[in-house]
C-alpha cells in the first residue's frame, strides 16, 4: 500500500535512462530502482526486516555475497550511486554465527583493514562502496538503510514444497483458511523464511473474523504459547502486515503496544480465554510461528 510521500516522489522522479551495456534504469512505485534484470537497488531506507519483506514482495531476495567475484559484481552495480551502506541478507539472528539468507555460512568476507568492529548488539551485515572496493560492516538490524535485492534462482522461485496437509489446522469462521503452527523457536526473519519454504506465508490478521478463526484453530490445536505473526512496524509510524496491508483492525493486549525496549517492531500473538491478543516485541527475540495458506478448493483470495 503506497504512502502519499511515495507518490509524490514517484511523480517527481519518474524517468528512465539507458546506461552503458544496455542496462535499463527506472524508478517504480515502490521507490526501488531497477538496475538490471538480476538486481534492484532501493532508494527507500528501511530496517533489515522490512528489506527482507520488500524483496520478497518483488519475488526476489535480499542479496547474499558468497564470493569475491560476486563482491566485485555488486561493487560495479553500485558504481555511480552514493557511498552509503546497503543491507545484505547476512545476519546472525538465529544461530549466533554469521549466515546468509538460506543458511550458508560465510566463506568470504571483505572488511576494511582495522575496521572489523563487532559489538554484540549489531546482528546484520551491510556493504558500502568505498573508493575502489566494496567493504563490509555490521549494523543494528533496526537501523533504516537502503538495500539490494537479487533475483531468485529458478529452483527457489518455484520450490517443491513438502506436503503439510495433515499438519494444517483451521477454525470455524473462515472456510478458506488453514494454518501451520510451527513449534520451532526462531526469530521473526527466520519465521518469514520458514513459512516461504513451505509455500506458505507468516500469518496476517487483517480483521476480527481472521482473529476469531485463528483463536478457534489455536483452541483446536491446544496452542498456548507465543507465536510470531507477520505484523511489523514500518517507517512512517504505522504497523503493516507482510501482504502490504496496513494494520487497521487491532487486538492489542492491555497496555500494548508500548515499545518498552525501544526496539519492539514485530507483532507476537497469543491466546487468552476469549481471543487472540497481540504484543509488540523485538524482532530478534525467538518465538514459535504461524504460517497460513489458502484451501485451493475454496480459494477466495484476491
CA angle 58, 62, 63 (to 5 degrees): 125
Residue found by looking up cell 576494511 in the block: 112
d(CA 214, CA 233) in angstroms, rounded, equals 22
Q: Which of 83, 300, 113, 78 is nearest to 210 (CA)?
A: 300
> Residue 148's pLDDT is what?
96
Does residue 268 or residue 293 have the better pLDDT? 268
Question: 121 or 139: whose pLDDT is higher?
Answer: 139
User: Has residue 49 got a pLDDT over 60?
Assistant: yes
The matching CATH number, chosen from 3.10.100.10, 1.10.1380.10, 3.30.565.10, 3.40.50.9100, for 159-298 is 3.10.100.10
Domain ranges of the chain: 4-156, 159-298
According to the model, what pLDDT value does residue 298 have? 38
Distance between CA 96 and CA 101 in Å, rounded? 14
Instruction: Assess whether pLDDT exceeds 80 at residue 206.
Output: yes
The least confident of 60-74, 236-250, 283-297 is 283-297
Architecture of domain 4-156: Roll (3.10)
Domains 4-156 and 159-298 share a fold: yes
Candidates 281, 267, 275; CA nearest to 211 is: 275
Mean pLDDT of 41-70: 89
Average pLDDT, the chain: 81
* Cα separation values, 2 from 27, 186, 202, 204, 229, Å: 14, 30, 21, 18, 22
DSSP bridge partners of 46? 145
Is pLDDT larger for residue 156 or for residue 23? 156
Which distant-in-sequence residues (6+ apart) come within 8 Å of 156 by Cβ? 61, 102
CB-CB contact of 269 with 245 (8 Å):
no
Q: Give the burial class of 74: count Cβ atoms within 10 A of its Cβ; 0-12 exposed, 13-18 middle, 19 or more buried.
A: buried
Least confidently predicted of 197-201, 252-256, 264-268: 197-201
Amino acid at each position: 500500500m503506497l504512502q502519499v510521500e511515495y507518490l509524490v516522489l514517484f511523480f517527481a522522479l519518474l524517468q528512465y535512462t539507458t546506461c552503458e551495456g544496455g542496462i535499463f534504469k527506472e524508478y517504480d512505485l515502490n521507490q526501488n530502482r531497477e538496475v538490471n534484470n538480476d538486481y534492484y537497488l532501493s532508494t527507500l531506507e528501511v530496517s533489515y526486516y522490512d528489506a527482507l519483506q520488500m524483496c520478497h514482495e518483488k519475488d526476489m531476495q535480499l542479496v547474499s555475497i558468497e564470493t569475491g567475484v560476486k563482491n566485485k559484481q555488486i561493487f560495479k552495480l553500485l558504481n555511480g550511486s552514493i557511498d552509503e551502506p546497503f543491507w545484505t541478507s547476512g545476519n546472525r539472528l538465529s544461530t549466533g554465527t554469521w549466515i546468509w539468507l538460506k543458511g550458508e555460512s560465510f566463506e568470504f568476507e571483505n572488511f576494511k583493514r582495522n575496521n572489523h568492529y563487532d559489538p554484540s548488539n549489531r546482528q546484520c551485515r551491510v556493504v558500502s562502496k568505498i573508493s575502489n572496493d566494496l567493504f563490509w560492516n555490521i549494523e543494528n538490524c533496526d537501523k533504516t538503510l537502503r538495500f539490494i535485492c537479487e533475483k531468485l534462482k529458478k529452483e527457489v522461485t518455484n520450490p517443491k514444497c513438502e506436503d503439510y496437509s495433515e499438519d494444517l489446522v483451521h477454525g470455524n469462521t473462515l472456510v478458506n483458511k488453514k494454518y501451520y503452527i510451527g513449534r520451532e523457536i526462531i526469530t521473526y526473519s527466520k519465521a518469514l523464511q520458514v513459512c516461504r519454504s513451505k509455500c506458505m506465508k507468516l500469518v496476517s490478521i487483517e480483521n476480527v473474523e481472521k482473529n476469531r478463526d485463528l483463536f478457534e484453530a489455536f483452541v483446536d490445536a491446544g496452542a498456548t504459547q507465543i507465536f510470531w505473526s507477520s505484523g511489523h512496524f514500518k517507517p512512517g509510524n504505522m504497523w503493516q502486515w507482510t501482504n502490504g496491508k496496513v494494520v487497521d483492525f487491532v487486538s492489542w493486549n492491555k497496555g500494548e503496544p508500548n515499545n518498552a525496549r525501544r526496539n519492539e517492531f514485530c507483532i507476537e500473538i497469543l491466546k487468552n480465554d476469549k481471543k487472540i491478543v497481540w504484543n509488540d516485541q523485538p524482532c530478534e527475540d525467538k518465538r514459535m510461528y504461524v504460517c497460513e495458506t489458502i484451501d485451493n478448493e475454496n480459494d477466495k483470495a484476491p
